[in-house]
Structures are given as structure tokens and as C-alpha cells.
Amino acid sequence: MSKGRESNANSRDPEGESGRGARSGDGAAENLAAPSSSSSFWLLMILLVVAAVVLYTVQRNRPSQTPKFVGKPLPPLTVASWANTEKPLAPADLRGRVVFVDFWTSTCGPCLAHTQDLVAYHRRFRDQGVLMISFTPEPGGPGTRPQNYIETVDGFDWPSAFGAHMVLEMMGIYATPTYILYDKAGNSIWGGHSLEGLDDATIAALAK
């Protein structure tokens, strides 16, 4: 009987050792797989960070305004009337100067919202030789809406043209506000529907 039990025990032991060995092996396999999963996680995190940095750099270096406003000629000066100037502007008044042009209407909410920013811009750069001109297709003169608005805004004292339908049409301006900056050679170098980037573009144009 003792030998039988010993024989049975011996016959079970290999299976027991094999089972434990298999389980031990499984555990080892799990332990080896874990670092691989962790490495994949950190690799993914690194790639995400790199992608975020690249995206930020691209967005930062993108032009703040669309290129469709670059390369436009100086605006013609055929308008119905003027304000804030002793005489109508002529092409010679624009020649050799940095010129900033503002296309607006008195019924355009965003145009009016930017007025104080335009006043600040004019005060900053007028003594540095920047000529600022506003164009509106609306009629001007005493009692008109755009004329009244100009007169109520402290600092709105740069040349402003009224009845400028032809100017807007020839320039392809179909939305207001639209802003365009020209260098001293008369080439448009910046433009858009917001003032973002205008100061930097003006400083660069003045430096040339």
C-alpha cells in the first residue's frame, strides 16, 4: 500500500511540477509583455507631444491674413467727396509712402468696433510717415451718417473718402471691414478683415 501511494504520488508530481512550471512560464510571459505595453504608451505620448509642437509652430508661422490681398495696386482716388483733408488726395500724395487703407461703412458693426484701434494705429504711426485713408461707398457731407460718425469719434482725423463705389469695385472689395497695407513702392504687402499683424507689417514696411 505504501508503495502504491508513493507510485501514485510520483505519477502526480510531474504533472504538478509541469502545471506550476506552465503557470510560472505564463507569469513570466505576462511580466515580459508588461514593459512592452508601457513602452508603447510612452512612445505614443512622445509622438503626440511632437505632433502638438509641430502644429503649434505651423500655426504660429502662418500668415495672419489671407494672401489674396497681397499684390494689389494702390487704390484709385476717384470718389464723390472727402473729409479731413484740405484738398482731394492725388496719386502723388501716396507715392513713396507707406499707405494703410481702410474700407468701411457706417452700418458695419465690426467696422465701428475697430474704430478705436484705428485711432490708436493712426496716432502711433502718422508721425513716422504712414498715410492712412478710409473709403466708404456711402455718400458724405453734412448730416449724412458716415460724416456724423466721423465727427463724433475723437481722433478720427485721417483722410476719408465718400461715394467710393468705383474704388471698391475696382479693388474687388466685397466685404467690410477690409484693410490693406502698401509699402513705399506701392505694393500691397498685408491685408485682411481684421487688424491682426498690422503693427508688425507696418514696422517692417517702414524699415525698408
Q: What is the pLDDT of residues 121-174, one digit of tens each?
A: 999 999 999 999 999 999 999 999 999 999 999 999 999 999 999 999 999 999
Tell me, yes or no, whether 184 and 198 share the same domain. Answer: yes
Tell me, yes or no, whether 20 and 81 share the same domain. Answer: no
Looking at residue 41, its pLDDT comes to 73
Lowest-confidence pick of 18-27, 98-107, 150-159, 185-194: 18-27
Lowest-confidence pick of 55-69, 80-94, 129-143, 175-189: 55-69
Tell me, yes or no, whether 118 and 200 share the same domain. Answer: yes
Tell me, yes or no, whether 142 and 194 share the same domain. Answer: yes
User: Which of 9, 36, 62 is the last residue in one of the domains?
Assistant: 62
Looking at residue 1, its pLDDT comes to 46
**Domain membership of residue 157 as a residue range:** 67-207
Looking at residue 54, its pLDDT comes to 60
Tell me, yes or no, whether 125 and 39 share the same domain. Answer: no
**93-112: average pLDDT:** 97
Tell me, yes or no, whether 42 and 56 share the same domain. Answer: yes
Tell me, yes or no, whether 174 and 73 share the same domain. Answer: yes
Tell me, yes or no, whether 117 and 22 share the same domain. Answer: no
* Residue 137 CB burial class (10 angstroms; 0-12, 13-18, ≥19): buried
Q: Side-chain half-sphere of 51: how many Cα atoms within 13 Å?
A: 6
User: Which of 62, 81, 98 is the last residue in one of the domains?
Assistant: 62
What is the rounded CA–CA span in Å between residue 71 and residue 81? 27
Q: Give the N- to C-terminal CA distance of the chain in Å, as an integer.
A: 110
User: Which of 18, 36, 62 is the last residue in one of the domains?
Assistant: 62
| Residue in the block written with cell 499707405 | 99
Question: If pLDDT is split at 50, 70 and 90, which confidence band does 6 have?
Answer: very low
Tell me, yes or no, whether 89 and 174 share the same domain. Answer: yes
Tell me, yes or no, whether 114 and 13 share the same domain. Answer: no
Q: Is the pLDDT of residue 21 over 60?
A: no
Q: How far is CA 175 from CA 29, 103, 190, in A?
A: 67, 8, 16
Tell me, yes or no, whether 37 and 77 share the same domain. Answer: no
Task: Give the number of domains in the chain.
Answer: 2
Q: Is the pLDDT of residue 4 over 80?
A: no
Percent of the chain with pLDDT over 90: 65
- The enclosing domain of 202 has a CATH number of 3.40.30.10
Looking at residue 113, its pLDDT comes to 97
Q: Is the pLDDT of residue 114 over 70?
A: yes
Q: Name residues whose C-beta falls within 8 Å of residue 84's C-beta, 6 or more positions apart in sequence.
A: 150, 156, 157, 158, 159, 160
pTM confidence score:
0.69
Condensed to tens digits (0 to 9), the pLDDT of residues 27-69 reads 444 444 445 567 777 777 787 777 766 655 544 444 445 578 8
Q: In terms of C-beta distances under 8 Å and separation of at least 24 residues, what long-range contacts does 11-20 make, across chains too?
A: none
Tell me, yes or no, whether 1 and 40 share the same domain. Answer: yes
Looking at residue 37, its pLDDT comes to 66
